[in-house]
Amino acid sequence: MLDSGAAAPPPGSVIRKLQRRRGDSVDAVEDRVAEEVPVAMRYNGRAFAVMMATPCDLEDFALGFSLSEGLIADAGELLRVDIHPRVEGIELAMTVTATAAAARLDEGWSRHLPGRGGCGLCGTRELEDVVRSPAPLAATATFDVAALRVALESLARHQPLNAATGAVHAAAWADAEGRIRRAREDVGRHNALDKLIGAMTREGDDPAAGMLLISSRASYEMVVKAARAGIGFIAAVSAPTALAVELARGAGVCLVGFARAGGCNVYTFPERLRAQP
């Protein structure tokens, strides 16, 4: 809870009044809560999807989402992102090249339901649109257990919004020594990863040269997004799903679950996480 001298809330959170009850005690206090707003994705004037997201790092979100959804082939096809606040939420008006898939959207591409914070499938209408097996990766980099431990131990320091609200997920990018280079947060785990992919792409990071850390479970959508971005190593703080394991194996992704400072489970390609000497 906040005190009267508390600093302004971090981006993506707001202060709200509440009544705190502890036993017979009742107090009027303030708390920081995470924002969750509708974010509309439009390409060359055509609506594609509405995602429930934290309204931060929206240009990264636009780029990462466009790449993850296969709406653009590379960053060069996204020419411009205009952010328009609306009464109902936020509109991301994107301009893409004529060669981009997003420039050829038709009614069959559009999602008819919002993509909620915990869901990467809302509005997808066909079964073949759900399970999209990524192409196998050529990169097979290996990493040390010690580097993974360093990254995991520092992950919380790169989650200021979660520290303030306790309500958001994180996706982080660590180098081969375990130093976290980039991190993004969002109420939706898929959105956090899209934002990270957008930031990495914008900065020219080599996706095969480091480790992806996610604060959530490793669902199959997370594996697909990572693999499509060229990421070959995923460490999830929570569990993977069976489909995530199978897709990771087929895509050449080393998938680690229950990743904690004291140990982890390696579900695919265990030889790519080197044990301590």
Count other Cβ atoms within 10 Å, centred on residue 129: 13
Task: Give the integer Cα–Cα distance in Å for 40 and 47.
Answer: 7
Reported in sequence order, the residue ranges of the chain that DSSP labels E, i.e. its strands, are 13-22, 25-34, 37-43, 46-53, 78-85, 90-96, 143-144, 169-174, 180-186, 211-214, 233-236, 254-260, 263-266, 273-274
Give the separation between CA 49 and CA 180, rounded to whole angstroms: 31
Q: 71 phi and psi, to 5 degrees?
A: -80, -20
Rounded-to-integer distance, Cα 61 and Cα 12, Å: 14
Please report, for residues 44, 163, 253, the alpha-carbon distance to residue 229 in angstroms, rounded to integers and kept in the order given: 23, 28, 12
| The two three-digit tokens of residue 85, written as one number | 């606040």
**Structural element, H or E, at residue 200:** helix 189-203
Q: Is 119 a catalytic residue?
A: yes
Where are any strands of DSSP class E within 35-161?
37-43, 46-53, 78-85, 90-96, 143-144
Return d(Cα 219, Cα 239) in angstroms, integer: 8
Out of 56, 119, 254, 264, the active site residue is: 119
By annotation, the residues acting in catalysis are 119
